[in-house]
Structures are given as structure tokens and as C-alpha cells.
């Protein structure tokens, strides 16, 4: 266990948390810390803070936080054991053998097995495409799409022959566990025993995660069969609502240029890359999700959506607008000519033609309104339908200036006076607030932090100026506290302080057992000192006076309740002397 802890500490010493997180999230320096938009919840104003001094992150919005291991686990959705191995590999720190629980070992081994099976399947599909007569149709299709041999190799493209058990027989020859292959979504059990291949007669596009592991596949049929595209089903390692095709290859160019281009098809990404455009990613045959946008906003300042010009493409853009607004990622829409997709367009017009059209991309909100106005009924009823859809979206904008801007654009596009729209918006806001009043009030009443600011103030003081703890605890500062969680933290801190002397806050944080206590303590650690250095002694004196006043008030109350006039007079006399 000691060697394991030693390896963990060595990784933390070797790592720079700002550099690590900065590869996934856009961070800006803010004093001694760095801030950015949180990748774990929706926000428009940055509340995600990274401290290089403490090698820790904390989001003041969703309260997630911790060290590099906590970030890696949350961002990549892996258990601690996997995060430890990933970061050890990254920073070249040797790991000791560590015993895992049976459950941890089972989950980790299953995921490792699925990745290995996907890797083996990708090799089989790739060899079939590039070396076998069975892959001729796949090669012909990719050749028509002008997909080069370099791209085929780089993205490990493959072909599933049009037969029922090609991959199944391959697994048997390689002694690969067929039950695990079923869990990977590659083969399907027959009702009467045996298995058959999920992908048949399709060009295969391996889908990699950000750790460049093959999480699943997308298969494109070469005839008129349906479905046109077939993905790996949901598995322990494949979640299509979170993955974006090509992101493992494009996130660096996206970060360098500050722009991401979102397309629909795998071949769109590959065609753009072949022509020298490296900032494209594709959804996996599914709608653009909030998780997709959260991933992208870590690398891009702007996203351009390039969906097909058909009705389905327009609908996809319209559905995505609230996600972009809620996540605070600037977005535009690139409108392609009829019957064109990015693949066909760039092959006809080249990179310069694509970039020219890209530079003409329309702000998503304007595109949304243009589409709605073009396809809803004219007159008052049509306008009402649009307002019912757009006003709730505008209400979700916390930025008042941004909301005013969109109201103005709405007024211009719909020829409705801005004052009328603002009135309607206020009505919606009042109704929304009334629905939320009861729960909001309940939250406020139940929140111990709302009762007394002394809790957070004292915790902040003790963390940043530990020497004040002995004085204030001896004066009985716990009478100022109302939050039971912080009371427990104080007791724990004071116990450590009296036994061990001053201890680093990070050491205390690691020893706290309760999640809520860790969250409160971490938030106080990541907050700047409430009190400047030169005012610490004054703050301590003010707290001492406040403590004494509360003790006197409590003594007066007890004396009155007992009817002890002598004691009451003595207390009042003492109080008067103090005031003089």
C-alpha cells in the first residue's frame, strides 16, 4: 500500500494540473489561479477553477473537484484504478501491483477485454478491406469517395464482408471469447445456438475515444439496404451520445484554431482531412447532444454546424440551438447548396471553396429564426408558435446583455416591437419563477450555509491562516457556527492541529471521509483569502468580541429563565464594564 501511495504522490509531483486540464478545457489566468467553463455541467460564465499552487481543481457551480486523478476519472468516465494506470503511463511512473476488489477487477478486466476485442476486429476488417478479394466492394466505394490510402491507414478503415459469420469464425480461430464479443456488440447470439456478425457488407469506421482506444464502430452499407448507417450498440465502453468521430485526431487543431466544424458523416470528416482541413468532427448518426458540446467547448471558442441541407439537417440544427446557448459556446451554421454534403462539396470545389462558404456561416440563432419563419404558418398564430418555442430558450440565458441582444434580433426578424417581446418574456419569467418559488424557498430554508456567513468565513481563515485556529478555538468560536458539516470539519482540524501541529490543507482534505465535508473544505481552499495578511489580527479580535457577546447573551438568557437576579445583575455589570 505504501509503494502504491508513493507512486500516486510521484505522479502528482510529475504532473502539472493546469497543463493536463488545459489540454481538455480552455483556461485563462485569473490571479494565481486559472478559470474556464466547466465540462461537467452547463454554464456560460466560468466557475471552474484550477489552482497550480494546490494542484487542484474545483467548480463553484456543480461542486465537482479534486486532484488530477479526480479530473481524469470524471472527464474520461473511468474508475480510479484506470486513471492511476493512465496517468502513470503518461508521466512514466512505475506502478506497484495493487490488489483490487473483485468488483473493481471485474469491471476493469471487462473493459480491457472489450477494447482488445475491438482492436482485433478492427484489424480483421482493415485486412479484409486492404488485402482480401472480399474487400473489393469496400475499396471501390472509398475510391469513389476519393479516400486515400493514407487516410484508410490512419483511421484504420475496414470492410465487413457480406457473409453471416466472417468475424465470428475469425474470433474462433483466434480463441477470442464469443460471450465478450457479444458484449462488445460485434456478434449476435442466434435463437437456436451459435452467433452471427452484426456488421455485414459494410465499410467500417472505427470510433476512437480521446485515449485513442477503439470504443466501437460505424458501418456504412453499400447498397439501398436499411439502415444506411449502423453503429455499435451501447456497451460498457461505447456511448454514442458522448463520442464524436475524429475528435481523437482533431482536438489539437481545434484548440490551435479555436474553431470546430461539426458534420454528419464519417466520410465528411475524412474528405475534409484529405483536403487539409483538420478541425472537423462528426456525430455518430445521432442528434448533437449537450455532452458533445461540452466536449467541444473545452477546445473550441466557436462551433460551425455543417449538416445536410435537407429537412432532417435543418431540424438537427434547430434542435441544437438551445444546447449551444445553454453551454455558452458560440455557434454558426454553414449552409450547403441543395443536394450537397461536405464530402461532395469539397471534392468539387476544393479547400478554398469550402473555406469561402465556411466564412459565410450564419449565426445559429439567425438561422433558427429564418428556418422557423420559412416553415411556419403566416400571421399571428404562426408568430405565437415561434414565441412559444423561443421564449423558454431565452429565459435560460443568465447573461442579461446576451438576452437583450437576442430579443432585439427576434424583434427585427419577426417585425414585432421589442417592447412587446420584453413584456411577453417577463410574463414567461414570472410564471417560471412562481413554479420554482416553493422549491427555491425550501432549498434556502434547508441550507445551513444560508443561516450564517461565519461558517465559511472562519473555515477560510483557518485554512489560509492556520495559526489563528488555536486562539479562536480556545475562545469557543464554535458558538458562531450553524453548519453541522463545518462544525465537524473544525473538530477534525483542531484535533489534527493539537496532535500534529500545523498541517497542510491538502493533507486534511485527503483524510476527510464525508463527501460533503470534502466539498466544503475544497471550496474554501480554492477561494482566495477573505482577509488580507495585514488584517488577520484585526479579524481575530473581531471574532473574539463576537464570541464574547454571544456568550454574554446566552448567560443573560439562562439567568432570566432561572430568575436569578443576582447573577443577572453581575452579568450586566460585567457587560457594562467591557463596553466602557
Considering the domain architecture, whether residues 279 and 325 belong to the same structural domain is answered as yes
φ/ψ of 379, rounded to 5, equals: 90, -170
The pair phi, psi for residue 262, each rounded to 5°, is: -105, 120
Cβ 213 vs Cβ 205: under 8 Å: no
d(CA 462, CA 446): 25
Report the CATH number that the domain containing residue 27 is assigned in CATH: 3.90.580.10
- Domain containing residue 559: CATH number: 1.10.860
Looking at residue 336, which CATH number applies to its domain? 3.40.1360.10
Tell me the C-alpha distance between 184 and 484, whole Å.
Answer: 47
**CATH number of the domain residue 117 falls in:** 3.90.980.10
Q: Which DSSP symbol is given to 230?
A: E
Instruction: State whether 109 and 222 are in the same domain.
Output: yes
| Cell digits of residue 514 | 464525508
Question: What cell does 29 get?
Answer: 489566468
| 477-489 confidence digits (pLDDT tens) | 777 777 788 888 8
Domain limit, last residue, from 446, 464, 490:
446
- Looking at residue 524, what is its pLDDT? 85
Contact 303, 331 (CB under 8 A): yes
Shared-domain flag, residues 155 and 259 = no
In the prediction, which pLDDT does 1 show? Answer: 43
Q: Is residue 426 part of a domain?
A: yes
pLDDT given at position 100: 65
Other CB atoms within a 10 A radius of the CB of residue 284 amount to 23
Q: Is 42 helix (H, G, I), strand (E, B) or coil?
A: coil
Q: Rounded to an integer, what distance in angstroms lies between the CA atom of residue 216 and that of residue 208?
A: 7
Q: Are residues 67 and 22 in the same domain?
A: yes
Alpha-helical segments (H) within 258-305: 266-274, 290-297
Question: Within this chain, do residues 114 and 181 fall inside the same structural domain, yes or no?
Answer: yes
Residue 22 lies in a domain: yes
Q: Which of 63, 90, 117 is the last residue of a domain?
A: 90
- For the record, the C-alpha cell of 278 comes out as 483538420
- The pLDDT score that the predictor gives to residue 445 is 32
pLDDT in tens, 98-151: 666 777 778 888 999 999 999 999 999 999 999 999 999 999 999 999 999 999
132 located within any domain: yes
| Cβ atoms of 297 and 344 closer than 8 Å | no
CB neighbours (10 Å) of residue 363?
14
177, 270: one domain: no
Give the pLDDT confidence score for residue 444 in this predicted structure: 35
Alpha-carbon distance of 200 to 166, in angstroms, equals 9
Q: Are 454 and 572 members of one domain?
A: yes
pLDDT at 384: 78
Q: Is the pTM of this model over 0.85?
A: no
- Take residue 143 and report the three cell numbers written for it: 475510391
Pair (81, 182) in one structural domain? no
Helix ranges (DSSP H) in 132-221: 136-144, 149-154, 166-173, 178-183
pLDDT at 133: 95
> Domain for residue 115, yes or no?
yes
Beta-bridged to residue 261, according to DSSP, are: 280, 304
Per-residue pLDDT of the chain (580 residues; tens, 9 = 90+): 445 677 888 888 888 999 999 988 889 999 889 999 999 888 878 899 999 988 999 999 899 999 999 999 999 888 888 888 888 888 888 877 666 677 777 888 899 999 999 999 999 999 999 999 999 999 999 999 999 999 999 999 999 999 999 999 999 999 999 999 999 999 999 988 899 999 999 999 999 998 899 999 999 999 888 888 999 999 999 998 889 999 999 998 998 899 999 998 899 999 999 999 999 999 987 788 888 998 898 889 899 998 765 666 666 776 787 788 778 788 999 988 888 889 999 999 999 999 999 999 998 888 878 777 776 656 677 777 778 777 777 776 666 777 788 888 888 888 888 888 888 888 777 765 544 443 443 343 334 333 456 787 888 888 888 888 778 777 777 777 777 888 888 888 878 777 777 677 877 887 888 888 888 888 888 888 877 888 888 888 888 888 777 777 776 666 566 665 665 556 555 555 555 5
CA–CA–CA angle 353, 354, 356 (5° rounding): 65
Q: How far is the C-alpha of 121 from the C-alpha of 64, rounded, in Å? A: 37
* Same domain assignment for residues 156 and 268: no
Structural domain contains residue 455 = yes
Report if residue 264 sits inside a domain: yes
Q: Is residue 296 part of a domain?
A: yes
The total number of structural domains in the chain stands at 5
Range of the domain at 405: 376-446
Q: Same structural domain for residues 252 and 227?
A: no
DSSP 3-state of 176: coil
In a domain, 290, yes or no: yes
Q: In terms of domains, do 471 and 507 share one?
A: yes
The residue from 370, 395, 422 where one domain ends is 370
- Same domain for 276 and 310: yes
Q: Which residues, including other chains, have CB under 8 Å from residue 545's CB and lie 6 or more apart?
A: none
Q: Alpha-carbon distance 128 to 528, whole Å?
A: 60
Q: Phi, psi at residue 28, to the nearest 5°?
A: -125, 140
Amino acid at each position: 500500500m505504501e509503494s502504491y501511495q508513493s507512486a500516486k504522490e510521484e505522479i502528482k509531483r510529475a504532473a502539472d494540473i493546469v497543463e493536463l486540464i488545459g489540454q481538455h478545457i480552455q483556461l485563462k489566468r485569473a490571479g494565481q489561479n486559472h478559470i474556464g467553463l466547466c465540462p461537467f455541467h452547463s454554464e456560460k460564465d466560468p466557475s471552474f477553477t484550477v489552482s497550480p499552487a494546490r494542484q487542484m481543481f474545483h467548480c463553484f457551480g456543480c461542486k465537482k473537484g479534486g486532484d488530477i486523478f479526480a479530473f481524469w476519472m470524471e472527464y474520461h468516465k473511468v474508475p480510479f484504478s484506470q486513471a492511476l494506470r493512465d496517468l502513470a503511463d503518461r508521466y512514466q511512473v512505475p506502478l506497484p501491483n495493487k490488489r483490487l476488489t473483485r468488483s473493481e477487477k471485474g469491471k476493469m478486466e471487462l473493459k480491457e477485454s472489450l477494447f482488445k476485442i475491438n482492436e482485433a476486429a478492427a484489424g480483421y476488417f482493415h485486412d479484409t478491406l486492404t488485402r482480401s478479394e472480399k474487400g473489393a466492394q469496400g475499396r471501390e466505394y472509398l475510391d469513389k469517395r476519393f479516400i486515400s490510402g493514407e487516410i484508410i491507414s490512419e483511421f484504420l478503415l475496414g470492410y465487413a464482408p457480406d457473409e453471416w459469420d466472417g468475424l465470428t469464425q475469425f474470433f474462433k480461430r483466434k480463441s477470442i471469447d464469443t460471450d465478450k464479443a457479444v458484449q462488445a456488440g460485434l456478434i449476435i447470439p442466434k435463437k437456436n445456438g451459435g452467433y452471427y456478425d452484426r456488421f455485414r457488407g459494410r465499410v467500417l469506421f472505427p470510433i476512437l475515444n480521446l485515449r485513442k482506444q477503439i470504443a466501437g464502430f460505424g458501418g456504412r452499407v453499400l447498397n439501398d439496404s436499411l439502415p444506411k448507417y449502423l453503429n455499435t450498440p451501447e456497451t460498457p465502453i461505447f456511448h454514442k451520445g458522448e463520442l464524436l468521430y475524429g475528435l481523437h485526431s482533431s482536438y489539437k487543431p481545434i484548440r490551435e484554431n479555436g474553431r470546430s466544424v461539426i458534420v454528419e458523416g464519417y466520410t465528411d470528416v475524412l474528405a475534409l482531412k484529405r483536403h487539409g482541413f483538420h478541425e472537423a468532427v462528426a456525430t455518430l448518426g445521432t442528434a448533437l447532444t449537450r455532452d458533445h458540446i461540452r466536449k467541444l467547448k473545452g477546445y473550441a471558442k466557436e462551433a460551425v454546424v455543417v449538416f445536410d441541407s435537407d429537412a432532417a439537417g435543418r431540424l438537427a440544427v434547430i434542435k441544437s440551438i438551445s444546447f449551444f446557448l445553454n453551454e455558452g459556446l458560440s455557434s454558426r451554421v454553414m449552409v450547403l447548396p441543395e443536394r450537397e454534403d461536405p464530402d461532395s462539396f469539397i471534392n468539387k470545389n476544393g479547400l478554398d471553396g469550402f473555406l469561402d462558404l465556411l466564412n459565410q456561416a450564419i449565426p445559429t440563432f439567425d438561422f433558427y429564426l429564418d428556418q422557423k419563419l420559412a416553415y411556419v404558418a403566416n400571421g399571428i398564430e404562426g408568430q405565437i408558435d415561434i414565441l412559444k418555442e423561443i421564449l423558454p430558450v431565452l429565459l435560460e440565458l443568465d447573461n442579461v446583455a446576451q438576452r437583450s441582444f437576442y430579443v432585439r434580433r427576434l424583434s427585427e426578424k419577426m417585425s414585432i416591437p421589442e417592447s412587446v417581446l420584453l413584456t411577453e418574456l417577463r410574463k414567461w419569467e414570472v410564471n417560471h419563477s412562481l413554479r420554482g418559488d416553493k422549491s427555491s424557498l425550501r432549498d434556502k430554508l434547508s441550507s445551513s450555509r444560508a443561516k450564517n456567513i461565519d461558517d465559511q468565513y472562519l473555515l477560510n481563515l483557518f485554512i489560509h491562516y492556520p495559526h489563528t485556529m488555536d486562539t479562536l478555538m480556545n475562545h469557543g468560536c464554535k458558538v458562531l457556527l450553524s453548519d453541522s458539516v463545518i462544525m465537524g470539519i473544525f473538530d477534525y482540524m483542531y484535533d489534527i492541529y493539537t496532535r500534529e501541529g500545523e498541517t497542510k490543507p491538502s493533507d486534511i482534505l485527503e483524510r476527510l471521509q464525508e463527501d460533503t465535508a470534502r466539498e466544503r473544505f475544497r471550496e474554501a481552499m480554492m477561494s482566495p483569502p477573505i482577509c488580507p495578511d495585514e488584517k488577520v489580527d484585526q479579524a481575530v479580535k473581531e471574532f473574539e468580541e463576537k464570541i464574547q457577546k454571544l456568550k454574554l447573551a446566552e448567560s443573560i438568557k439562562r439567568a432570566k429563565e432561572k430568575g436569578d437576579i443576582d447573577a443577572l445583575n453581575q452579568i450586566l455589570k460585567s457587560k457594562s464594564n467591557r463596553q466602557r
